[in-house]
Structure 1
Amino acid sequence: MYTFTLFLSLWARILLPLLFPDAATAKEREITAPVVENIVVDQVTWSMNRRLSWEDFRGQPDEKNPHHALTAANLAVNANCKNQGFTYQVNCVFLPTESWTKNKKSQQLLEHEQLHFDLTEVHARLLRKELQNLNCANLKEKLNATVSRAFAKWKADQEAFDTASKHGVNAEKERQWAATIAQRLRALESYK
């Protein structure tokens, strides 16, 4: 099982200034986030060389939830438009304190949760690919829709994975999804 969240920084850095354009000067539209003190976000950035371990799952299990584990992952999006130069960064992150398991012994379950994280990286790469088509001139018009579509596709893909694999119980479907995710990561290698 998985969950995802949209970081507040996306809204603070990108969408609020677009909704309230008078907040930036006409000469230089810089989209920035307000400074927030003393906030530490515990996260693991996706890497092919760093696989998840059960020690990463530090959240409190939801005993009422019928699933055995939950991977909280996110697409952390930061975008900036300064001096008509558009820059962006998209990170696939795992949130340890929001992720939990009821079974720290099952390697099969851990591999299922890793696939959720890997699938999130697929969508991070897809979003990076889409964002390269934006610029400061079309940012206001296209950014919100681009990010919204990316998140909707990500959510649908995660749900399709869980449905097809029956949350990791159907080993054959799980293997098929694992192969497909690996292939998609290779195909999107230039967007990592």
Structure 2
Amino acid sequence: MFSILRFLFIFFFLFPSEVDPVKMTWSDSQKLTWEDFQGKPKLNSGYVATTNSGMSFSYSYSKSGNDIDYDYKVHSYFYPETSWYIPSKVDQHILNHEQTHFDISELHARILRKKIGNTVFSENIKSEIEKLYSETEQERVAMQHQFDKESDHSKNRERELQWEAFVQKEIIIHEPWN
């Protein structure tokens, strides 16, 4: 049974379907540019740009007696086709704000890797590992909202800079889980 699960896991992740969205993996050496934002602007949204980013999570496991063997992958992605901007209303400051949203997703990918790596799983590994993902995803979404609220969607430049520094510091702290 677990051989079949491993096969299905490998099949689906090595041969993605044609409906998989275009995505960019987070990289410390490659920051977002406005050319990465390929979605159609929503002119009546009240915003001048939107970043669609998040975490991707997959795992496999097998049990043999009391031994549990597992493997997992966690990535943070930016989705160009659903991220957009209004060219006449943006500048480098706004791009930095959008990059921070992507950085928050990367931070939480590292936090999830740390949680999984530091957990000793029981025979209920499936529910335990999925709970870790769910908790971390809720934390990621909450931080995204808090960042927008406290920076007033980039209008409060002082808070914006504090948030950028905080997120970069946390990414460095979580470097071992890159």
TM-score, reference length from structure 1: 0.79
Matches within 5 A, 1:175-186: 175-186=161-172
Bigger shift: 139-148 or 107-116?
139-148
Identity of aligned residues (%): 29
- 1:125 corresponds to which residue? 110
Aligned with residue 32 of structure 2, among 52, 60, 68: 52
Which consecutive residues of structure 1, in runs of 5 or more, have no partner in the other structure?
Answer: 1-24
TM-score, reference length from structure 2: 0.85
1:91 aligns with 2:71: no
Across the aligned residues of Structure 1 and Structure 2, the Cα RMSD in angstroms comes to 2.0
Q: Is the 8 A contact 1:85 1:135 kept in 2?
A: no
Q: Is the 8 A contact 1:74 1:94 kept in 2?
A: yes
TM-superposed CA distance for 1:155, in Å, is: 0.6
Q: Which has the higher helix share?
A: 2
Q: Is the 8 A contact 2:121 2:128 kept in 1?
A: no
Matches within 5 A, 1:22-41: 25=1, 30=5, 32-33=8-9, 35=12, 37-41=17-21
Runs of 4+ that moved beyond 6 A: none
Q: How many residues align?
A: 167
Aligned with residue 128 of structure 2, among 142, 146, 153: 142
Which consecutive residues of structure 2, in runs of 5 or more, have no partner in the other structure?
Answer: none
1:170 aligns with 2:145: no
Distance, in Å, in 1 between the alignment partners of 2:73 and 2:134 is 16
- 1:103 corresponds to which residue? 87
